[in-house]
Structure 1
Amino acid sequence: MNSTPASSGIPDAADRNKTEIREFLVSQRGRISPDQAGISPIGGRRRVPGLRREEVANLAGVSVDYYTRIERGNLSGASEEVLDAIAGALRLDPSERDHLHDLAVTANNGKARRRQPQSGTRVRPELQYLLDAVTAAPAHITNRAMDMVAANALGWAMHPDLDERTGTPPNFSRYVFLDPRAHNFFADWERAADTNVAMLRREAGRNPYDKRLTDLVGELSVRSQEFRDRWAAHNVRKHYAGLKSFVHPVVGPLELTYQSIELDQDPGFALTVYPAVPGSASEEALRLLASWAASEHSNRIDSHR
């Protein structure tokens, strides 16, 4: 007889969903004081900071019993209006609000979510053609589990430390938390680590049945205290555009803008491009990096002849 997740002691996706709902709402409630919420405190002395359940319920316009049920992990049947009211009461930002809605979708439609495709590790040839057409900036494609599944020449050259030690295909999260070289590569490692976990947390909320993703979270939770601490904070983030700073081991400092796009025709994949500001020192550094990459490629070919 095959053992079930429950009998093996490993929580299934439905249990993880309830736990995530409970811990997410409790963590968000604990971050807001009555003063910040613009209300008079209910009750006497507080043992912990943050709002009480009845205060959140009053702000959201729902009964205390109903909010208590929700905070215990039961979002079944919760309407979008109720979710938005709770998000408003807790002052969730757009990423956090979307995360709450994603958790509700899973709670209400678990069987349909279970049929979603797992994180892929291969891309269509046409996507590689697209990457190769980008010659002046690093570009890569990642899946939900932060595997770099494809890249252009500059994309691979930009991440020379992403090797077999980070998995096959190479994985950004393992690199950030398990490879000491990452601390030198990111100009602000703490920020990079925070962002990585916040992105993983968002994906886990959207795709709790993705085994590659859940296995990665489990591995990092066991192997990295820094990951565990950040995972427990329940921060979520979208990661579509901005500015990043790196210290490349060959060409030195790089300050690059980035744009990330989810590929609708290829669910679970995202394309990210890192252009430099025209005329900047980073643009010149990327040209040097391209020359170095071409030289390294030529040397590898010669060594195999």
Structure 2
Amino acid sequence: MDNRDAVSAFLRSRRDKITPEQAGLPVYGQRRVSGLRRGEVASLAGVSVEYYTRLERGNLRGVSDSVLDALAHALRLDDTERVYLYDLARAAGQTPAARTRRTVRPTVRPSVTRIVEGMPGLPAYVMNNRLDTLAANPLGRALYSEMYADPTCGGNVARFAFFNPAARRFYADWERMARFAVGALRGEAGKSPYDRELSNLIGELSTRSDAFRVMWGSHDVYAFRDTTKRLNHPLVGDLVLDQETMSLPDESGLSVVVYSAPPGTAAEDGLTLLASWSATPAREQDAESAGETPPRRP
């Protein structure tokens, strides 16, 4: 088992995206490909065509950092794609023992749980690199109530995005969010290609979702960034929230994700109403689920 297919497909996909004009190369006559040829990439990277052909066939074992940097420059990789290329190279050099080593599932430290629960006015949760939400405060669970109510999601944001029809309404820009989720999983797969749980998740998503399978085939890579999320919650309506993602300073790969709303905005009122709803006794929430109309923001 190795990552040759992933390496080959990634390099070809990046080469296909660059035109000779973008690379500053002259164009003579008609071209059979819209992107760069292998020889053109090799020339830009300062390596032989034979050597680059070996790389594009998936063999990154023993490739030096200087060659990887030259390749990243030639293919105009962004910072996230560059990191992914380095991850692919590191994985290619792993020993058989490292490849078969059992992946340890990280646990959420009690101190991290206390931090998340200590922000009652902000939706917050802890996420791993497979997009599993491992812990959440009450407002975080209320914000993603439809995901947590669906047992097939297992608290996984990617499963919710691709398996639950409600996600296409919940995420105002569903396609952007879905591509981000796919790209984040792609990046993690480059770093941990022998993670069985990750492989199983990607296989499940590919088997059950045509949309995921098409997006996965693009070989795009994304990293968590602080951004703005537009959500449409079934109880409080539209919410425009700022998202901050803070990676824990350890080897766990866990991140704390927190949503907030600027003061004086409709989103702040929505979070206040949602917090009030999430604090109601379980029996009242059960009554609402049975047919009573929940409170909505005016």
TM-score, normalised with respect to structure 2: 0.91
Aligned residue number for residue 49 of structure 1: 34
Residue 275 of structure 1 is aligned with which of 238, 253, 260? 260
Query: What SS does the corresponding residue of 1:218 show, helix, strand or coil?
Result: helix
Aligned residue number for residue 188 of structure 2: 203
The Cα shift of 1:277 comes to 1.1
Query: What SS does the corresponding residue of 2:223 show, helix, strand or coil?
Result: coil
Asked whether the 8 Å contact 1:250–1:289 carries over to 2, the reply is yes
Alignment partner of 1:218 is 2:216: no
Residue 15 of structure 2 is aligned with which of 22, 29, 32? 29
Percent of aligned positions with the same letter in both sequences? 45
1:230-249 CA distance string (max 9 Å, x none):
00000101113111100000
The whole-number CA distance in structure 2 between the counterparts of 1:276 and 1:166 is 29
Aligned residue type for 2:134:
V
Asked whether the 8 Å contact 2:232–2:239 carries over to 1, the reply is yes
1:32-61 CA distance string (max 9 Å, x none):
0100111114x7532221000000000001
The whole-number CA distance in structure 2 between the counterparts of 1:44 and 1:119 is 55
* Corresponding pairs, count: 287
Aligned residue number for residue 128 of structure 1: 113
Q: Which runs of 4+ in 1 moved over 6 A?
A: none
Asked whether the 8 Å contact 2:5–2:58 carries over to 1, the reply is yes
Note closer, same or farther for the CA distance 1:296–1:146 as it changes in structure 2 (3 Å cut): farther
1:180-236 CA distance string (max 9 Å, x none):
000110001111111110111011111112111110100111111100110000010
Asked whether the 8 Å contact 2:103–2:196 carries over to 1, the reply is no
The Cα shift of 1:168 comes to 6.8
Alignment partner of 1:39 is 2:25: yes
The Cα shift of 1:112 comes to 3.5
Task: Give unmatched runs, 5+ long, in structure 1.
Answer: 1-11
The Cα shift of 1:136 comes to 1.8
Aligned residue number for residue 140 of structure 1: 125
The Cα shift of 1:113 comes to 5.7
Residue 233 of structure 1 is aligned with which of 193, 212, 218? 218
TM-score, normalised with respect to structure 1: 0.89
The whole-number CA distance in structure 2 between the counterparts of 1:181 and 1:169 is 15
1:48-90 CA distance string (max 9 Å, x none):
2100000000000111111110010000111111111101101
The whole-number CA distance in structure 1 between the counterparts of 2:214 and 2:112 is 36
Alignment partner of 1:194 is 2:176: no
Alignment of 1:76-87 (within 5 A): 76-87=61-72
Asked whether the 8 Å contact 2:116–2:124 carries over to 1, the reply is yes
The Cα shift of 1:109 comes to 2.2
Aligned residue number for residue 3 of structure 1: none
Aligned residue number for residue 73 of structure 2: 88
